[in-house]
Amino acid sequence: MNTSLFGYTLALADDALVSAQRMGWWISRAPELEEDVALANIGLDQLGQARLLLGYAGELEGEGRTEDDLAYLRDDREFRNVQLVERPMTDFGVAMARLLVFATYQLHLYRSLTVSDDARLAAVAAKAVKEVTYHVDHASRWVLRLGDGTDESHRRMQAALDAEWPFVDELFTPCHPSLGGRVTDPSALREPTLTDVSRVIAQATLTVPAVSPALGGGREGLHTEHLGFLLAEMQHLHRSHPGATW
């Protein structure tokens, strides 16, 4: 549970950063060239949001850590992202199922943060809300196309939803009530997010999976084994060549 604005901001930043890194994996691997470009653009938007949030988190902490320090010099137990975004996604259906859920969650989150008492969070959110609107739209179109497509695409899209669903609940982990009007409590986003996602799923002739949530714990730094490998790749250059620029 986040008890400080620093922890809250860091959690939002880490969600966006880790998701961006996974999106980047698709460059050159998507089913068509246009999709390579689309997923790269979506990842870039998320990376941009992560940079703004990490920079602000560093200021809130007040110990002089920059966005690079926070991105490159923390180990997995210090990351506060949800497990949803850290697991590999080597099936395109999984990528679209996850993006649908995550971008819809971010849309409601950022939309509500635009009226936060915290001017910095409100400014970042006002920028980001426009970008994630496109992400939701993109994922929705693919889920419709694949769910309501061939038998094979329907089967794989449903399997993707089934695989992602246990990790959805963690997005709505409540934050500490002391943060008050400056932030949006993620638990308030459950209903609007799931309503929107369920509408797309139904329209795509798919079924909302009835599964128990996974253990969770990402917000406390408990992660799946996959995050360590992701960070090893993401942080390798910076750690091998401290201060490297180009």
Partner 1 sequence: MSTSQTMPRAREIAATVLDPELPMVTIEDLGILRDVTEDDQGRAHVTITPTYSGCPAMETIREDIVSSLELAGYQRVDVEFVLSPAWSTDDLTEEGREKLARAGIAPPGPVRAREGPVPLTLSVRCPQCDSLDTRESSRFGSTACKSLWVCGACREPFDHFKAL
- Report the interface residues with partner 1, using CB under 8 A: 34-35, 37-38, 40-42, 44-49, 51-52, 119, 122-124, 126-128, 130-131, 133-134, 136-138, 140-141, 144, 196, 199-200, 203
Pick the closer one to partner 1 by CB: 78 or 117: 117
- Are 86 and 18 in contact by the 8 Å Cβ rule? The answer is yes
- Are 47 and 19 in contact by the 8 Å Cβ rule? The answer is no
Closest approach of Cβ 221 to partner 1, in Å?
A: 26
Closest approach of Cβ 35 to partner 1, in Å?
A: 8
Say which amino acid occupies 233: E
Closest approach of Cβ 53 to partner 1, in Å?
A: 9
- Are 36 and 27 in contact by the 8 Å Cβ rule? The answer is yes
Pick the closer one to partner 1 by CB: 31 or 213: 31
Place of tokens 């509408």: 199
Pick the closer one to partner 1 by CB: 39 or 171: 39
Pick the closer one to partner 1 by CB: 212 or 245: 245
Greatest extent of the chain over all pairs of C-alpha atoms, in Å: 55
Number of H helices, E strands in the chain: 8, 0
Closest approach of Cβ 65 to partner 1, in Å?
A: 20
How many Cβ atoms from other residues are within 10 Å of residue 155's Cβ? 13
Pick the closer one to partner 1 by CB: 123 or 159: 123
User: Whose CA is closest to 106, among 221, 214, 207, 19?
Assistant: 19
Tokens of 1: 């549970």
What is the DSSP annotation of 158-175? HHHHHHHGGGTGGGGPPP
Q: Is 64 left (phi over 0), alpha (psi -120 to 50) or beta?
A: left
- Are 77 and 228 in contact by the 8 Å Cβ rule? The answer is no
Pick the closer one to partner 1 by CB: 48 or 217: 48
Closest approach of Cβ 124 to partner 1, in Å?
A: 6
Closest approach of Cβ 21 to partner 1, in Å?
A: 13
Pick the closer one to partner 1 by CB: 33 or 210: 33
Closest approach of Cβ 174 to partner 1, in Å?
A: 27
What length is written for the chain?
Answer: 246
